[in-house]
Amino acid sequence: MHQVKIFDTTLRDGEQSPGCSMNLREKIEVAKCLEKMKVDVIEAGFAISSPGDFESVNTIAKTIKDCTVASLARASEKDIDTAWDAVRDATDPRIHLFIATSPLHMEYKLKMTPDQVLERTAAMVKYARNYCSNIEFSAEDATRSDIDFLTKVVDVAIRNGASVINLPDTVGYTTPSEMRAIIEHMINNVENADKVEFSVHCHNDLGMAVANSLAGVLGGAKQIECTINGLGERAGNTSLEEVVMAMRTRPDIFEVSTEIDTTKIYRASKTVYNIIGQNPPINKPIVGKNAFAHESGIHQHGVLANKKTYEILTPEAVGITANNIVLGKHSGKHAFQAHINEMGYTLTEEELLKCFDEFKALCDKKKNINDADIEAIVIHNTSADEEVRPDEYALDWFAVHTSNFTTATSTVSLIKNGKKYEDVCLGDGPIDAAFNAIDKIVKPVKHTFDLYTINSISEGKDTLGDVTVKLLADNRSYVGRGLSTDIFEASILAYIKAMNKMMRAYSSDQAGEKETANDN
């Protein structure tokens, strides 16, 4: 049994996909989840791509102590210099440099000949080695590359000091047998292949990313690159939770282990979905709502007799606690705290008080409180960037009037810096009317309204409504979530949060521009 390393690229390959952008605080929150889960490598970003990316890679490098922190770089000196500047303060920094090796990419994207690509690979791996010994080299579009040429590139990268060789299936084109064969070919044909770790990085365009990664492991790969919830370009990357649980569930096939604390998987998945304003499809393996539900009578009967009849892994193994109703109106703060600790959450005193207050308020509105309600309260009150600052808008009160024979009207009162602002608007339904009233008060920057979703947290008519609103401005998305048994209130809270985030980013951009103008 040997160990396979888990390289998480949620903050780079995941974050670069549309609608999944995260701000600095959110990225740090995700990085901390990954560290707790004990991933081996965190790819924190692509440092040269923007000043914001540089800052987040650099902050994560300084914050994370127990994982290798990597930055991506193209095979150019400037990229490598910037990647190194961003990760140099990490406990174990890694530069991850890449160049494309497929005929299509070399001719049309790089406009380079194969010989030039070989030369650049040698020179840039060598250049990066001047900075640190932990160098990962990726041959982009490896699976559509000529195998003899790819072998030469890998050989050159190893000769010049790469310690990890990653062979990405950039466009999700390969199949399990092919992926396995490519890794085996490299191990058998490249001199000094035993001195490096081979790695797989699969995209999911044909739904085979997890299978292809596992086949790579069977071929001898010692590192899997993946993302939480399979986030990533187009159809996404290999999903961390699926690939890790597959190896854990079938050691008889894969004969490998990972360092991952699988009980942290569910929490990490929730955190990422919460930040990007999405929910898992209900049938998503491992983390979807139905992943462990047994609906049919035959299955239920079997599971009651012996769980193993239909359960190959337990919810507890990935950190999902039993849905016990143990708390209610008369529960005290200590019982509440003990229960959320049991659910895997550790809160600061301030967060605990906020959550407890909200829990008590919910007890007055809802008869049965279960773990899903409590979890929703905890997530809404502890996520990065969720709190409303005094100089931002908070909800004071609202009133809606609607019927099926009049135009809906909403009145909203907001507070900012202790001052109240009230407006009233008509709309295409009460939620639209309330959002219009908020727009009149906030006077937001130019943006588009990207998404509105509402989910029920648990069963029953008195369920909490969990509303997500996503706004888009300047190619960045701003997610707000609101939680209430009243869906109008949940919607208004979500909209205000998204607005605040957008206006906060806008004012820091303005401040940045002013600073640059003063510098000149």
Q: At its nearest, how many Å lie between Zn ion and the CB of residue 265?
A: 21
Q: At its nearest, how many Å lie between ligand KIV and the CB of residue 134?
A: 16
Q: At its nearest, how many Å lie between ligand KIV and the CB of residue 70?
A: 10
Single-letter amino acid code for the residue at 182: I
Q: At its nearest, how many Å lie between ligand KIV and the CB of residue 8?
A: 13
Q: Which does 393 bind (CB under 5 to 8 A by kind): Zn ion, ligand KIV, none?
A: none
- CB-wise, 117 or 355, nearer to ligand KIV? 117
SS3 assignment, position 20: coil
Cα separation, 239 vs 202, in Å, equals 10
Q: Give Cα 136 distance to the centre of its chain.
A: 22
Query: What track of x and - describes contact with Zn ion for positions 172 through 191 (by CB under 5 A)?
Result: --------------------
- Where does 403-467 have alpha helices with state H? 430-442
SS3 assignment, position 48: helix
Residue 129 CB contacts under 8 Å (≥ 6 apart), including other chains: 135, 160, 161
The pair of structure tokens assigned to 353 is 């008080």
Interacting residue with ligand KIV among 5, 8, 11, 13 (CB under 6 A): 13
Contact between 16 and ligand KIV by CB under 6 A: the answer reads: no
Interacting residue with ligand KIV among 15, 53, 140, 386 (CB under 6 A): 140
Binding residues with ligand KIV: total (CB under 6 A): 8
- CB-wise, 204 or 278, nearer to Zn ion? 204
Q: Which does 375 bind (CB under 5 to 8 A by kind): ligand KIV, Zn ion, none?
A: none
E strand or H helix at 115, and its extent?
helix 114-129
Do the beta carbons of residue 337 and residue 349 sit within 8 Å? no
Residue 520 CB contacts under 8 Å (≥ 6 apart), including other chains: none
Phi/psi region, residue 38 (left: phi>0; alpha: psi -120 to 50; beta: rest), is left
Binding residues with Zn ion: total (CB under 5 A): 1
Q: At its nearest, how many Å lie between Zn ion and the CB of residue 513?
A: 33
- CB-wise, 203 or 470, nearer to ligand KIV? 203
CA atoms within 13 Å, Cβ hemisphere of 363: 15
The pair of structure tokens assigned to 99 is 């160049």
The pair of structure tokens assigned to 474 is 């300047």
- CB-wise, 145 or 383, nearer to Zn ion? 145
Q: At its nearest, how many Å lie between Zn ion and the CB of residue 291?
A: 25
Q: At its nearest, how many Å lie between Zn ion and the CB of residue 201?
A: 6
Q: At its nearest, how many Å lie between ligand KIV and the CB of residue 167?
A: 9
Q: Which does 140 bind (CB under 5 to 8 A by kind): ligand KIV, Zn ion, none?
A: ligand KIV
- CB-wise, 98 or 398, nearer to ligand KIV? 98
- CB-wise, 92 or 205, nearer to ligand KIV? 205
Q: At its nearest, how many Å lie between ligand KIV and the CB of residue 136?
A: 9
Q: At its nearest, how many Å lie between Zn ion and the CB of residue 140?
A: 8
Helices 430-442, 487-519: axis angle to 10 degrees equals: 30
Do the beta carbons of residue 6 and residue 248 sit within 8 Å? no
Subset of 182-241 contacting ligand KIV (CB under 6 A)? 201, 203
Subset of 4-33 contacting Zn ion (CB under 5 A)? 13
DSSP type of residue 318: G
Subset of 163-182 contacting ligand KIV (CB under 6 A)? 168, 170
Q: Which does 138 bind (CB under 5 to 8 A by kind): Zn ion, ligand KIV, none?
A: ligand KIV
Contact between 15 and ligand KIV by CB under 6 A: the answer reads: no
Contact between 138 and ligand KIV by CB under 6 A: the answer reads: yes
Q: At its nearest, how many Å lie between ligand KIV and the CB of residue 380?
A: 33
Dihedral angle of Cα 113, 119, 120, 125, to the nearest 10 degrees: 150
For the chain, the 3-state helix, strand and coil shares in percent, each to the nearest 5, are: 50, 20, 30
Contact between 136 and ligand KIV by CB under 6 A: the answer reads: no
Cα separation, 172 vs 17, in Å, equals 15
Do the beta carbons of residue 454 and residue 431 sit within 8 Å? no
- CB-wise, 23 or 238, nearer to ligand KIV? 238
The pair of structure tokens assigned to 32 is 């901390």
Biggest alpha carbon–alpha carbon distance for the chain: 79
- CB-wise, 13 or 375, nearer to Zn ion? 13
Cα separation, 362 vs 196, in Å, equals 55
Kindly report the backbone phi and psi dihedral angles of residue 425, in degrees, each rounded to the nearest multiple of 5, phi listed first: -150, 155
Contact between 98 and ligand KIV by CB under 6 A: the answer reads: yes
Binding stretches for Zn ion (CB under 5 A): 13
Binding stretches for ligand KIV (CB under 6 A): 13, 98, 138, 140, 168, 170, 201, 203
